[in-house]
Structure 1
Amino acid sequence: MAAFKVAAIQMRSGTDPERNVADMERMVREAAGQGARYIQTPEMTGAMVRDAEARKAAFTTQDKDCVAAAAGRLAAELGVFLHVGSTAIRRADGKLANRALLYAPDGSLRASYDKIHMFDVDLDKGESWRESSAYEPGTEAVVTDLGEARLGFAICYDLRFPQLFRTEALAGADLLSVPAAFTRQTGEAHWHVLLRARAIENGAFVVAAAQGGVHEDGRETYGHSLIVDPWGRVLAEADHAEPGVIVAEIDAAQSAAARAKIPNLKNAREFTLETVTGPAPALRGAAS
């Protein structure tokens, strides 16, 4: 396998899918112009819409979705793998999926992935999210071949579930994707360390295209899109929350080398758990 360039597109998606598509197209062309063969956009590329009624108006089925149509056209025109990190897609049952779409250089849809883990959290400062109230979770991990590498899919909150990445690595993935819309609060605390951990523990490259800044719907995302190598080194970073493009060259042989040095994927063992109970230990207090 040969080395090739990958890119992460950092966006600040608003509530208008057509305008977001125009921004996506401009930056995808920039990335392709820098030689990227695999280009990833962030979670919710199509629109960031917090209001439930507005979501109903903004999102449609995959065959009618403007992001999907533009991505297939661009992939074919530029001869690249274009990975829409995710966009909201209305399923046949009427529910929404937070769905990643990967288009091949001939414009065909190579693979899709529905986000498995829903961001249902209560953070400090009154920040609360219930993704499951708007989206139906996926149930299948996905790995696909890019030729020079094998790609495993994830989206945003999936990052906190290492078993997903381990499953994909064991299936041969040496390039892991984490398109995201991390909140500023959680991003400042955990974004870098979690991405580097997923790379190190799986001996894989990680590409994480992010949303960044204050969005039209009022939310604030962290930005700081990253490309990390299998040893945990940051190859490229958007060190800010502004829209932009980062590019780095990767070589799947480096993943094989990292896994040869530390063969934890091979060395893992099955085990059982024993819970031991007993009398509470006596505690020695201060001398009286």
Structure 2
Amino acid sequence: MTHFKAAVCQMLVVEQKAENINKAYNMIKEASKNGSNLVVLPEMFNCPYNNSFFSEFAETYPDGETIRFLSRAARSENIYLVGGSVPEQAETGEGKKIFNTSLVFDPQGKLIARHRKVHLFDIDIEGQISFRESDTLGRGDGITIARTKWCKMGIAICYDMRFPELLRAMVLNGAEVIAIPAAFNTTTGPAHWDTTLKARAIDNQAFVIAASPARNMQAGYHAYGHSMILDPWGEVLARAGTGEEIIYADIDLERVEQIRRQLPLLKHRRTDLYTLEVSPKAITNQ
């Protein structure tokens, strides 16, 4: 089977966790009813994107309210579910930390991948926006690939997609689809969202599924919206506006094979001049 249907739920995130979870479930059910096999939620879908909320909304695996919901939703709707991302609290060798974490569940509700955001969004664009995820969040240290029944799927979160080495490492380890829960803002979005997503699809010859929250002008952080699904040629298969909606696209994996055969750029890499080594220890499914 080389075909499946993907959906992105571009949902409006508010300050009430229960309301966000309920909204996500309703959109997941609608996407499933419309034949979706894979559903992707946005970055921090259960929590306003703001440092002041991350600690308050943080959950532990596997007992967190949102985390249990994601497992149940995947199982009840019989889908693969990329649970956007949530603030995850975990014990580390350096004590408790909160991570920006994407959890991926299979149709049985089993966790098959966990990606903790590798590159933290610490920026200061003079006169426009300043944000430091590192003030509250820890940094992940793995390249994450989920194994679905159709293909391998890389997982990145928002700012991660600006680092082509990370996504290339996923593809070199077999990924044909890359899912990216994200929350670009109204400064970085108009400047870089479309261009970066198209570049990552083209230079990796992979499907890219990018999920943004809907734009909430009442919130402290204004998401750009415009969730997108792109094919390995960089063609936009589906694109949202700024409000709440679900977008869909048919994913034909034969398209990956066709493009990589006809334009074999992955085989034309000059590894005698440059290298991108990936330690097997860095590849994680959970």
SS in 2 for 1:71: helix
Q: How does 1:120-269 map to 2 (within 5 A)?
A: 120-214=122-216, 217-238=219-240, 240-269=241-270
> After the TM superposition, which of the residue ranges 122-131 and 240-249 deviates more from structure 2?
122-131
Look up the equivalent residue of 1:141 and give its one-letter code.
I
Return the offset for 1:126. Answer: 3.7
SS in 2 for 1:47: coil
Return the offset for 1:173. Answer: 0.4
Report the TM-score, using the length of structure 2 for normalisation.
0.91
Residues 192 and 126 (structure 1), Cα distance of their counterparts in 2 relative to 1, 3 Å cut: closer
Return the offset for 1:141. Answer: 0.4
Look up the equivalent residue of 1:250 and give its one-letter code.
I
> How many residues matched?
271
Look up the equivalent residue of 2:244 and give its one-letter code.
P
Return the offset for 1:259. Answer: 0.8
The superposition leaves residues 197-240 of structure 1 with CA deviations (integer Å, 9 ceiling, x where unpaired) of 101111100000101212654110100000000010000110x2
Return the offset for 1:49. Answer: 4.8
> After the TM superposition, which of the residue ranges 40-49 and 98-107 deviates more from structure 2?
40-49
Partner Cα distance (1:272, 1:174) in 2: 25
Partner Cα distance (1:236, 1:126) in 2: 29
SS in 2 for 1:95: strand
Partner Cα distance (2:217, 2:143) in 1: 30
The superposition leaves residues 106-162 of structure 1 with CA deviations (integer Å, 9 ceiling, x where unpaired) of 111111110100111111424101011111010110112211121001000011000
Report the TM-score, using the length of structure 1 for normalisation.
0.90
Look up the equivalent residue of 1:16 and give its one-letter code.
Q
Return the offset for 1:51. Answer: 4.8
Identity %: 35
Look up the equivalent residue of 2:131 and give its one-letter code.
W
The superposition leaves residues 58-85 of structure 1 with CA deviations (integer Å, 9 ceiling, x where unpaired) of 2221223222111110111111001112
Larger Rg: 1
**Aligned 8 A contact 2:37 2:79 in 1:** yes
Partner Cα distance (2:217, 2:89) in 1: 22
Aligned match of 2:48: 48
The superposition leaves residues 2-41 of structure 1 with CA deviations (integer Å, 9 ceiling, x where unpaired) of 2110011112212221111001001001110110101000
Residues 222 and 154 (structure 1), Cα distance of their counterparts in 2 relative to 1, 3 Å cut: same
SS in 1 for 2:85: strand
Look up the equivalent residue of 1:270 and give its one-letter code.
T
Partner Cα distance (2:173, 2:54) in 1: 35
Partner Cα distance (1:48, 1:74) in 2: 21
Look up the equivalent residue of 1:10 and give its one-letter code.
Q
**Aligned 8 A contact 1:17 1:66 in 2:** no
> After the TM superposition, which of the residue ranges 30-39 and 59-68 deviates more from structure 2?
59-68
Partner Cα distance (2:257, 2:211) in 1: 24
Partner Cα distance (1:66, 1:19) in 2: 12
Partner Cα distance (2:45, 2:195) in 1: 24
Aligned match of 2:28: 28
**Aligned 8 A contact 1:14 1:49 in 2:** no
Unaligned regions of 5+ residues in structure 2, if any? 275-286
Residues 51 and 177 (structure 1), Cα distance of their counterparts in 2 relative to 1, 3 Å cut: closer
Unaligned regions of 5+ residues in structure 1, if any? 274-288
